Structure 1
Amino acid sequence: MNLEDLNEKTILFLGKSRAFSEDEFYAQLRFHKIYLTREQNDAFDFVLEGRMMTPYEQNLSDELYELGKYEFITIDTFEKLLADKIDTTTLLMSLKLSNDKVRLKSFLQNAMIPDGLFFKLLKMYSWGGEDFFENDDNRDISAALVSRFYENIERNHNVQYATTGIYHLILQTEDAKLLEAIAELEPVKFHPKIIKALSIDANTPKTVLKKFLKKGDKVAQEAMAYNPNLDITIIKELLKHKDLAEILAKNVKLDEGLFELLFEYKTILAENESLTKEMQTQLLELHDDALNVALSHNRALDKEINLALVDLNNEELNAAIYANRATPQEILKKAYEDEKNHLSLAKNPSTPSKFLEELFHSKDEKVLDALARNESTPVAILYQLQLDSRFERAVKTNAAFGKHIQSENIGWL
């Protein structure tokens, strides 16, 4: 059904509107030339079932349905049709000229309006220099923002009334428009944690990052250095600070130009997981011990580079390589033959399960502690390690074990 099908038609309305306020609901109907009646005796073409119908209205609805003469519409379907036909330009101009905060708030709380319109209306809302939940109006708008975009809000409905809800939105979403909308909210200035989350997020628009940079926000600058998705103008600005340059060297997504630009920090650069095989080869050919150690920790280490580092037969390098999840299985299997490599292998999520199971019988406390922290350690072994007070905390902070407990919904032992 289209809204045009209802033009110049009369609808029997039972109950109340849901997404629109009563005044706005009737205003939209007048605009679209749709007529409502509350009386059964009047002529009507459709029956609209709203929320909170009285027992009388519910009985009437049932009787009319049994007659089979009328088409029924639910309030959610009808209000969605209205919301989709809102003239954005006219509405924004009307709100701007009238400065009607009550009407603006009503629209922002309307879950039926499109996200694009919601973002435009959100820009118009004045926070009055106060925080997200510092007054009733701000609280309602903050709750509307969180409830609209929060994943699985029904499982954590109270989160819409806490600043953590806005923080979680940033962590959950990949929507650049939502991230931009949050960044532009006035109360964000009160929350360094939110600014940090926005600055580090690879999906945050460059325009937002540049605004943070222009403000000289130290929290934003440091967080930005961990963002892998920066443009060259931001990178060059951050490179003016040695501490930020070192963070960039390890985290930024590299191309040939950036590799050359950051080559001054080559030892740190060696751990950057976006290094291509050619870049790794170039670093290896420098024959620098410290650089090789850093390279051996790189979790995206190329297989051939891995083998070349093993061939150097250096204990410090080997310890790092055997603990590196990027190391090929054949190298790990061979390393297992020598007991001195067991600690590194116990740390490595890529170590074959049968070896992790065998390592459970080790007498070395460090090996057992590493197993307790390893997310690839079989759950049955983690249960056993949890019974030992020395490793109980390590098991409980193991993300894989926590996920298993949640999926089984059995709680901690």
Structure 2
Amino acid sequence: MNLENLKDQTVLLLGKPRAFNQEEFLAQLKTHNIELTKELDENVRFIIEGRVLTPYEQNFSDELYEMKKFEFISIDELETALAQEIDDNVLLMSLKLSNDRDRLKSFLQNGCISDQLFFKLLKSYKWGGEDFFENDDNRDITAALIERFYENIERNHNVQFATTGLIHLISQTKDEELLEAISELEPIKFHPKIKIILATHPNTPKKVLKRFLKEGDDEVLEVIYSNVNLDKMIAKSLLDEPNIAKKIAANIALDNELFRLLENYADQLAKNTTLTEEMQQSLLDMSEESVDENLAKNSSVKGEFLEELYQQSSKNRGYILENPSTPQEILERAFEESENHLSLAKNISTPQEILTKLYDLGESDVLLELAKNENTPVELLYQMQLDSRFERAVRTNEAFGKHIQTENIGWL
């Protein structure tokens, strides 16, 4: 909506504001020269329907609507428009000068403000050296953070009131700005696990990783070396340490220079999922046992190279048959030999027709892997969850869990 249409107008509010408290709502209206009244008079042209209308207000609203003399505006629409017009710098300066903690908290709990303003305000919040849920204020701010960004929070009631909710939020997001904001929250000092999850996250900004490196926490350093986003200059400075270089070779996003610098760790390079086709060919040409084994396990290796490895030796065939990048023709041929059934049951790329045939054979070790496989037809998973041997595996199968959520039918 266009707030200019309300400028110098008197509006009647029925009910209460939603995103803003009453005082802030009035202040925001005043900023735009909008007068608020709770009584109908001749100057009123606009009616705002807020939340929590009393029975009297609801009846009055119906009467006003029947008169067809007024324009009705929803409180959500108005508050969103007001929030969009907030000058971030003016608000931040006002909060800094007033040191009004309650007002800062109110804005952080306001779902109408932009994410950018939310992050700026979050930097201003003082945690008082206490944990996320150690006092009421910290609890409310943590809950506001989780609730704002958590996917499908309506299906995860009260997740915003647990530290695990913050951990799950980190795991599910790809938002670099959100990850950086969480990394700067004072209470993560009480939760080393959160720092480690951030250090391993593929979308954690490089400047955050650099800050973690300077802090020197051994556990965090260990996982940073395995982060695909490790800064190239930092990586190059660490290559004189063999144990660190091995971790870097297996995980860092490779370019031609890094590949050459790390060639002494070819077996670890073969694990790296950022290998280009040329790099894969170079490693394959080495014909080294440990290199070939890791290439066979690497899901980023091209199908034609996996085919070549499959033909060269039987030693790595099990790894290749479990590799989701393995060409379908190989998987179909492999089904003819029973010793391949267990590996095929583990592969999420095995065609469902073959998975169904494996189910029909009834081999218990194969059935257990089918229960874990996210590509197993859901009707088979329903059958296997009735068997106590496989019930746990089916319940922890992510694809089956998503199916249950989608269908909203709960567990049998």
Which amino acid in structure 2 is aligned with residue 330 of structure 1? E
CA contact (8 A) 2:45 2:69 kept: no
Contiguous gaps of at least 5 residues in structure 2:
none
Which amino acid in structure 2 is aligned with residue 251 of structure 1? N
Q: Deviation per CA, 1:246-270, whole angstroms, max 9, x where unpaired?
A: 3332222222122122222211211
Distance 1:290 1:99, change over 3 A: same
Deviation at 1:236, TM superposition (A): 3.4
Deviation at 1:136, TM superposition (A): 1.1
| Match in the other structure for 2:88 | 88
The answer to which of 36-45 and 294-303 deviates more is 36-45
SS in 2 for 1:47: strand
**Cα distance in 2, alignment partners of residues 352 and 103 from structure 1:** 57
| Match in the other structure for 2:102 | 102
Distance 1:195 1:239, change over 3 A: farther
Distance 1:99 1:284, change over 3 A: same
Distance 1:255 1:131, change over 3 A: same
Distance 1:71 1:328, change over 3 A: same
Which amino acid in structure 2 is aligned with residue 194 of structure 1? I
Deviation at 1:215, TM superposition (A): 0.6
**Cα distance in 2, alignment partners of residues 360 and 375 from structure 1:** 14
Which amino acid in structure 2 is aligned with residue 331 of structure 1? I
Distance 1:172 1:376, change over 3 A: closer
Instruction: Name the TM-score, length of structure 2 as normaliser.
Output: 0.90
**Cα distance in 2, alignment partners of residues 386 and 76 from structure 1:** 45
SS in 1 for 2:199: helix
| Match in the other structure for 1:142 | 142
CA contact (8 A) 2:14 2:53 kept: yes
| Match in the other structure for 2:167 | 167
Instruction: Name the TM-score, length of structure 1 as normaliser.
Output: 0.90
Matches within 5 A, 1:14-413: 14-236=14-236, 239=239, 242-312=242-312, 314-360=313-359, 362=361, 365-383=364-382, 385-386=384-385, 390-409=389-408, 412=411
**Cα distance in 1, alignment partners of residues 362 and 114 from structure 2:** 62
Q: Give the superposed CA RMSD.
A: 2.5
Which amino acid in structure 2 is aligned with residue 11 of structure 1? V
Deviation at 1:158, TM superposition (A): 0.8
CA contact (8 A) 1:174 1:203 kept: yes
**Cα distance in 2, alignment partners of residues 29 and 383 from structure 1:** 56
Which amino acid in structure 2 is aligned with residue 166 of structure 1? L
**Cα distance in 1, alignment partners of residues 388 and 39 from structure 2:** 74
Deviation at 1:17, TM superposition (A): 2.0
Which amino acid in structure 2 is aligned with residue 323 of structure 1? E
Deviation at 1:102, TM superposition (A): 1.5
SS in 1 for 2:44: coil
**Cα distance in 2, alignment partners of residues 405 and 51 from structure 1:** 34
Distance 1:214 1:385, change over 3 A: same
Distance 1:3 1:400, change over 3 A: closer
Q: Deviation per CA, 1:368-413, whole angstroms, max 9, x where unpaired?
A: 4444443333444445555555545444444344444544555555
**Cα distance in 2, alignment partners of residues 167 and 47 from structure 1:** 43
Which amino acid in structure 1 is aligned with residue 345 of structure 2? A
Deviation at 1:93, TM superposition (A): 1.1
**Cα distance in 2, alignment partners of residues 159 and 172 from structure 1:** 14
Distance 1:192 1:30, change over 3 A: same
**Cα distance in 2, alignment partners of residues 266 and 356 from structure 1:** 35
**Cα distance in 1, alignment partners of residues 209 and 347 from structure 2:** 36
Identity of aligned residues (%): 58
Distance 1:257 1:97, change over 3 A: same
SS in 1 for 2:317: helix
Distance 1:397 1:170, change over 3 A: closer
CA contact (8 A) 1:83 1:113 kept: yes
SS in 2 for 1:315: coil
Distance 1:115 1:254, change over 3 A: same
Q: Deviation per CA, 1:124-180, whole angstroms, max 9, x where unpaired?
A: 111111111111111111111122222222222311111122222212222211111
Q: Deviation per CA, 1:187-219, whole angstroms, max 9, x where unpaired?
A: 111112211222222222111111111111223
Which amino acid in structure 2 is aligned with residue 350 of structure 1? S
Which amino acid in structure 2 is aligned with residue 58 of structure 1? Q
CA contact (8 A) 1:225 1:238 kept: no
SS in 2 for 1:254: coil
Which amino acid in structure 1 is aligned with residue 76 of structure 2? D
**Cα distance in 2, alignment partners of residues 74 and 294 from structure 1:** 60
Q: How many residues align?
A: 412
The answer to which of 330-339 and 205-214 deviates more is 330-339
**Cα distance in 2, alignment partners of residues 204 and 88 from structure 1:** 25
CA contact (8 A) 1:195 1:219 kept: no
Which amino acid in structure 1 is aligned with residue 73 of structure 2? I
**Cα distance in 2, alignment partners of residues 179 and 165 from structure 1:** 14
Distance 1:318 1:13, change over 3 A: closer
Deviation at 1:284, TM superposition (A): 1.7
**Cα distance in 1, alignment partners of residues 286 and 213 from structure 2:** 35
The answer to which of 401-410 and 164-173 deviates more is 401-410
Q: Deviation per CA, 1:306-334, whole angstroms, max 9, x where unpaired?
A: 2322332x331223223322222222333
